[in-house]
Amino acid sequence: MKDKVFIGLDNYARILTSRSFREVTMNTFIWTVASTFFAFLLGLGAALSLHREFLGRGVLRAVLLIPYVVSAVAASYVWKWLYHSDFGVIGALAVQFGLTDRPINFIDNIHTVLPSLIVVNIWKEFSFAMIMLMAGLQTVPDQLLRAAQVDGANAWQRFWHVTVPHLKGVSMVTVLLLMVANFNAFIIPWIMTSGGPAGASDIWITQIYTIAFGRQRYGLASAYSVILFIVMMTLGYFYVRALTRGDDTRVK
Amino acid sequence: MSMVSAAPSRRRRVKIDPWRWVGRFFLLFLLTFTVLPMLWMVLTSIKSQFAAMQYPPQWWPAEPTLQNYAKLLDPNGSTGQEFLRYFWNSFYVSMVTTILGVIVAVPAAYAFSRFTFPGRTFLFFSVLLRNMFPSVVFLMPLFLLMRWMGLVNTHGSLILTYLTFGLPLSIWLLKGFFDNIPIQLEQAARIDGATRFQAFFFIVMPLSTPGIIATSIFSFIGAWNEYVYAYTFLSKQDSMTLPVGIQRFFTEFATDWPGLMAATFLMSVPVVVLFLVLQKYFVRALTEGAVKH
């Protein structure tokens, strides 16, 4: 930190050309897209199934929401224990059902670690999508659905031509918020693997943290953060647009 | 249930709806997926260290014991002292953050909702955009700032940081609630001789209580669960909050899984109880603003 030398875009060049950057970016991409996609899908399914009134609906909704409220630190430890290589319950169950001969070592294997972490992330956040979409479903007018039924539309057609268009706005916002949250996720990968083994679960955020606080390379970490900033600004633009879209159409 | 709603005369409508069954199975699957990890956490926490480390695992604890909880909650033991300290720190930080947050957010949201002033839109969206950035990016500058202010290793640093990060969301939520209160109510009060402050305090505030509750739960849960800043700003053991403290605990007794599970359970209790009791407000806070009616 003593000699401050202006090095231009060297840090950026170093990052963009390094091999680890490509790997980490790939991981970040898989992590963000897969988590968002499945969390949204499960959330949508749950919202549709919970839309109809039935006994115990409120209780079920509350139970499904618990993972979203508990701390990610607690969730990470619990799942770390579930995935434990020797005494993990998931491995034991897999053996019990005859899927494998020996317990699978989920988080110490470079091929299974990222999917395993994504499952934890989905467990934690799918109910967020569920709540948002449940609220969205309430804005679908009943009369329209009934009218479609009178006109002879079957369940699928009613869903596709009436419900889906009404959910568009909420879905946009939900997907964007999930993407942002996943892109910025730090706790689950950090506590469960710290990016390991061999960088197989390293994403941008954990990488930045390691560069800055592990290796003390603040310049490099800052350059990384700026790249991240640009990506976030792009997402942010769409977020604000999705939020204000309703206003525009109403003014017209 | 369908039998109750369908009168005998409308029998023909009670036919098997395949989609309903798909939905039921899907919900069953989700319920299993959600509950099993939590169930296993609880089951492990009532096992002894020896019982937990077995293969194949004891599916049901042969000799359930509460010794893990007793150890964590015992104010005389060293583990218990440490854990209760972390618990108190978390509670203190979350509580102060919540109270200060409400005190600041209520007038700010009111201003955003009722007044127009130059830069209002810009300020509002900058407040929103802040939420899009990962906390790791702000770690370094904030850490330097805290050191400069001499706040490192104090709870003040955390409270200040959580307020910075929580306020945008609180203001956004509360503004939504204030927007829904008709301005005529205030105007009527003003005509009857109330000052603006009185109108705000006696008319708007009581009507927006649900909003204030919702915002409070949100900031409490957020502060209780926060990890990154607490991990960086606090290095003294007796000032640590639970998410960080629990980690120390884990690395020291590297293999004490039942103890760790008991600790994560106790750590989740306050937020889950708070959520279950005030669920309605929480859900409303979550969806407010994103869903246009």
Average the pLDDT over B219-245 and give the result: 88
Yes or no: say if B215 and B174 are a contact pair by the CB < 8 Å rule. Answer: yes
Residue A210: the pLDDT is 86
* Nearest-by-Cβ selection for A240 from B37, B56, B125: B125
Give the pLDDT of residue B8: 47
For residue A96, the chain B residues in CB contact (below 8 A) are: 56
**CB atoms inside a 10 Å sphere around CB B85:** 18
A249 pLDDT exceeds 60? no
Mean pLDDT, rounded, for B76-80: 83
- What is the average pLDDT value for chain A, to the nearest integer? 84
pLDDT-based confidence at B89, cuts 50/70/90?
A: very high
| Confidence check: pLDDT of A4 > 80 | no
The more confidently predicted of residues A236 and A110 is A110
Per the CB < 8 Å rule, is A78 touching B140? Answer: no
Q: For A17-21, A121-125, A199-203, which range has the lowest pLDDT when averaged over its residues?
A: A17-21
State percent of chain A over pLDDT 70: 93
Compute, in degrees rounded to 10, the torsion defined by CA atoms B157, B162, B267, B260. Answer: -60
User: How far is it, in rounded angstroms, from Cα B23 to Cα A51?
Assistant: 10
- At A123, the pLDDT band (50, 70, 90 cuts) reads very high
Smallest CA–CA distance, residue A54 to chain B, in Å, is 7
Q: What is the CA radius of gyration of chain A?
A: 22
Query: Which amino acid, residue A142?
Result: D
**Residue type for B242, please?**
L
Helices B257-277 and B279-287, packing angle to 10 deg = 80
Average pLDDT over every residue of B104-119:
85
Quote the minimal CA–CA distance from A222 to chain B in Å.
Answer: 8
B209-231 mean pLDDT: 89
Q: How far apart are CA A169 and CA B293, in angstroms?
A: 11
Instruction: Assess whether pLDDT exceeds 60 at residue B1.
Output: no
Contact at CB, B27 and A82, closer than 8 angstroms: no
- Contact flag B40-A82 (C-beta cutoff 8 Å): yes
pLDDT, residue B185, reads 86
pLDDT score of B289: 59
What tokens appear for B66 in the block? 């509460």
Does the distance separating the beta carbons of B27 and A60 come in below 8 Å?
Answer: yes
Q: Which residues of B260-270 are buried (b: 16+ CB within 10 A; e: fewer)?
A: bbbbbbbbbeb
Give chain A positions within 8 Å (CB) of B33.
123
What does the pLDDT read at residue B97? Answer: 94
Q: Has domain B67-287 been given CATH number 1.10.3720.10?
A: yes
The nearest CA of chain B is from the CA of A110 a distance in Å of 23
Which of A82, A128, A184 is opposite residue B37, by nearest beta carbon? A82
Q: What residue of A is the nearest CA neighbor of B122?
A: A240
Residue B14: is its pLDDT beyond 60?
no
- Give residue B237's pLDDT: 82
* Test the B interface: residue of A42, A54, A69, A116 with most B CBs within 10 Å: A69
Mean pLDDT of B62-86: 85
Backbone angles phi, psi at A215, to 5 degrees: -95, -5
Q: How many CB pairs under 8 A join A and B?
A: 186
Q: Give dist(CA A244, CA B264) in Å, integer.
A: 40
Query: How many other C-beta atoms lie within 10 A of the C-beta of residue B279?
Result: 16
B204: closest CA of chain A, how far (Å):
25
If pLDDT is split at 50, 70 and 90, which confidence band does A39 have? Answer: very high
Q: Which of A184-198, B101-115, B118-132, B139-153 has the lowest mean pLDDT?
A: B118-132
Chain A residues in contact with B258 by the CB 8 A cut-off are: none
- Chain A hits for B52, CB-CB cut-off 8 Å, are 87
CB-CB: which of A42, A239, A246 is closest to B292? Answer: A246
Q: What is the mean pLDDT of residues B57-65?
A: 82
**CB-CB: which of A63, A84, A132 is closest to B31?**
A63
| Closest in A54, A69, A236 to B271, CB measured | A69
Domains of chain A: 10-244 (1.10.3720.10)
CA distance B224 to A190: 18
3-state secondary structure at position A30 = helix
Residue B135 with chain A: CB contacts under 8 Å? 184, 186
Least confident of A167-181, B90-104, B110-124: B110-124
pLDDT in tens, B134-165: 777 788 788 888 888 888 888 888 999 898 88
Q: Give residue A236's pLDDT.
A: 77
In B, which residues are within 8 Å of A220 by CB distance? none
Lowest mean pLDDT of A57-66, A177-186, B94-103, B249-258, name the range. Answer: B249-258
pLDDT at B15: 62
pLDDT surpasses 50 at B9 = no
Q: Provide, as residue numbers in chain B, all residues whose Cβ is less than 8 Å from the Cβ of A38.
A: none
pLDDT of the residue at B36: 92
Which pLDDT does position B199 carry in this prediction?
87
Interface with B, mutate which of A59, A68, A81, A166 (most B CBs under 10 A): A81
Least confident of A83-97, B121-135, B171-185: B121-135
Q: HSE, CB side, 13 Å, CA atoms: give it for residue A158.
A: 18
Chain A interface, best mutation among B131, B228, B264, B275, by max A CB count within 10 A: B264
Q: Is A101 helix (H, G, I), strand (E, B) or coil?
A: coil
Dist. CA A164–CA A137, nearest whole Å: 9
| Helical axes A72-82 vs A89-96, angle rounded to 10° | 40
| Mean pLDDT of the B172-195 span | 86
B255 pLDDT band, cuts 50/70/90, is low
Most confident of A99-103, A193-197, B54-58, B266-270: B266-270
pLDDT value for B258: 86
Which one has a higher pLDDT value, A12 or A59? A59
Q: What confidence score (pLDDT) does residue B128 get?
A: 65
Q: Which of A49, A73, A79 sits opposite B23 (nearest CB)?
A: A49
Closest CA to A131 of A25, A46, A57, A252: A46
pLDDT one-digit tens code per residue, B184-218? 888 888 888 888 888 888 888 888 888 899 889 88
Contact list in B for residue A208 (CB cut-off 8 A) is 136-137
Side-chain-facing half-sphere of B46: CA atoms under 13 Å: 13
Q: Give per-residue burial for B127-162: e unless 16+ CB within 10 Å, then b.
A: bbbebbbbbbbbbbebbeebeeeebbbbbbbbbbbb
| A156 and A143 Cβ atoms separated by less than 8 Å | no
Phi, psi of A9 (to 5 degrees): -100, 20
pLDDT at A246 > cutoff 60: no
Place of tokens 């009722």: B114
**Contact assignment for A72 to B272 by CB distance below 8 Å:** no
> What is the 3-state secondary structure of chain B?
CHHHHCCHHHHHHCCCCHHHHHHHHHHHHHHHHHHHHHHHHHHHHCCCHHHHCCCCCCCCCCCCCCHHHHHHHCCCCHHHHHHHHHHHHHHHHHHHHHHHHHHHHHHHHHHHHHCCCCCHHHHHHHHHHHCCCCHHHHHHHHHHHHHHCCCCCCHHHHHHHHHHHHHHHHHHHHHHHHHCCCHHHHHHHHHCCCCHHHHHHHHHHHHCHHHHHHHHHHHHHHHHHCCHHHHHHCCCHHHCCHHHHHHHHHHHCCCCHHHHHHHHHHHHHHHHHHHHHCHHHHHHHHHCCCCCC
pLDDT given for residue B249 in this prediction: 67
Question: Nearest-CA residue of chain B relative to A75?
Answer: B264
Structure tokens at A234: 């792009």
* Residue-level pLDDT at A35: 95
The whole-angstrom distance between A109's CA and the closest CA on chain B is 20
pLDDT in tens, A209-231: 888 888 877 778 888 888 888 88
Alpha-carbon dihedral angle through residues A3, A7, A8, A11, given to the nearest 10 degrees: -110
Q: Do B37 and A54 touch (CB under 8 A)?
A: no
